[in-house]
Structure 1
């Protein structure tokens, strides 16, 4: 009799456990799961993009978001995308480590019939993704250089600080810079080099340029971190008053330099706006809704005249 009671109790427990597991599965089934593949959690600008996603996520019911960090390793990012497809996530948001590996990542998602939204980094063939969310890099280069040309009255020697060579932003921002320089016969590029988006490398490159003895009227950097590095080197050499410095991104650090008058111009790239837009588009695609193929987040010029309104955006 005791044995029969034990068997009945055991079977009841098994049934209860089964119902619990099925119940949990149903709850999960009601949730949308979005996989977000980011290139580098430690990158300052990308951390703001990440924040934009997390802030938008809080406004969404029944949406789970899984964030993974590729640590700037393209092969690691490929395996992360493969894992997302194996987990059968409802959609993927991808900020590619580089634009060379990006087409393969999009193909993996397409083969698994998982909607994939590429954010921030554009490349040839990005239209094979479900959607793209970001800003047109060439416009940042045009806006930045137009402001520098205005300050210099269309005359002067320009040094261009490139980001990581081959990155879409490096190519297009520099192209935008050079398009404006071509319009002004009194302006020319006298120095050009890469500081790989990095402040310390920007400082080192500027020190080398100062030692070259070439006359420089303006340093135009592909991003703010390199521009800040250039400012630090110019300040240390007592030359900052002689050289105009401009950057791109309008990060909180850079806005402080604009307010002090050390950075003459930057171009606001809305990191949080791109993050929010990327996740929002992925959620729509996961629900089977129609999404725009290209979703542009506009750039905005920042100078000392309007810097306070951009400082408020980060507070």
Structure 2
């Protein structure tokens, strides 16, 4: 009888240890691996998940909303413990929120803020899109001595980031009587698309004094178009502070960029996911601050 009791206690102890030692799995659904900023997010999240001893699966939606919805459903069917989501369309997230909520799986949005109210066990980690646009245009307006014509390169309009940054840029310009927006077009976050858009503006001899791009990749595309046209007069500003963007600031081609901390967002998303898995309370919105990068201070951002 004593031996039997000892064996029962031992089995109970081993079962308890196996439950407490469970390794959680986090599914990470990203909008598009090919986007520079998303690539930085991905690399940092992989490192942070490993350091946090969390298993992970990464999937690429390739910019396809329907594919991303299916990928999130697949994660749920596979039984992942939490999902980190960088949405393709910030207005099209409700099916994924509903599915995760019904399955009781924590859902953490990163970088792109969903445009719906989040239920409990869901959170957003990222930066305030409007503030990024405001900081960019205020700094650019100062460089322009608060006068001149501005062209805006917008990201994909399915993203809250693109719409809010653009709205904020326009609001800053509206404050100054000697400034106005004369062109505004989407280049879908892409460098090559921006080359084509800006080349068309130049071909049509638009009197542009500065270009405010919603991200660094489009700003770099604008600079490439300006270089091809041998135009060194137009100021160009970006947002993100990617390594490529910082290099263009360093060499004087980009007037300034607004540093959006991709590594900070990635680390924050993993930390929030871990907290939710451990049944801790988290804030609905977890803001990562912006900073302005100029030729005078770019060196301090090189390692970030």
Indicate whether the TM-score tops 0.5: yes
Residue matched to 1:85: 76
141, 152, 155: which one pairs with 1:163? 155
Residue matched to 1:249: 240
Residue matched to 2:8: none
Instruction: Tell whether the 8 Å contact from 1:36 to 1:93 is kept in structure 2 after alignment.
Output: yes
Residue matched to 1:96: 87
95, 99, 113: which one pairs with 1:108? 99
SS of 2:33 mapped into structure 1: coil
Cα offsets for 1:159-209 (capped at 9, x unmatched)? 111111231111000011011101100000111111111111111111110
Instruction: Tell whether the 8 Å contact from 2:131 to 2:165 is kept in structure 1 after alignment.
Output: yes
CA distance in 1, matches of 2:162, 2:47: 29
Unaligned runs of 5+ in 1: 1-18
Residue matched to 2:3: none
Q: 1:100 Cα shift?
A: 2.9
Cα offsets for 1:140-174 (capped at 9, x unmatched)? 10011001110111100111111112311110000
CA distance in 2, matches of 1:273, 1:34: 18
SS of 2:279 mapped into structure 1: coil
Residue matched to 1:122: 113
CA distance in 1, matches of 2:35, 2:117: 23
| C-alpha RMSD of matched pairs (Å) | 1.9
Residue matched to 2:206: 214
Residue matched to 2:126: 134
CA distance in 2, matches of 1:213, 1:68: 43
Say how many residue pairs are matched: 290
Instruction: Tell whether the 8 Å contact from 2:115 to 2:160 is kept in structure 1 after alignment.
Output: no
CA distance in 1, matches of 2:228, 2:66: 41
1:224 aligns with 2:213: no
Instruction: Tell whether the 8 Å contact from 2:189 to 2:215 is kept in structure 1 after alignment.
Output: yes
1:51 aligns with 2:31: no
TM-score w.r.t. structure 1 length?
0.88
Cα offsets for 1:44-92 (capped at 9, x unmatched)? 110111112112123223x211212222222221122112222222211
Q: 1:126 Cα shift?
A: 4.3
Residue matched to 1:239: 231
SS of 1:148 mapped into structure 2: helix
Residue matched to 2:249: 258
Range 25-34 or range 78-87, more displaced:
25-34
Residue matched to 2:262: 271
TM-score w.r.t. structure 2 length?
0.91
Instruction: Tell whether the 8 Å contact from 1:285 to 1:291 is kept in structure 2 after alignment.
Output: yes
Q: 1:286 Cα shift?
A: 1.1
SS of 1:86 mapped into structure 2: helix
40, 57, 61: which one pairs with 2:32? 40
Cα offsets for 1:192-249 (capped at 9, x unmatched)? 1111111111111111101112211101111111111111111121212x11100111
SS of 2:253 mapped into structure 1: coil
Unaligned runs of 5+ in 2: 1-10
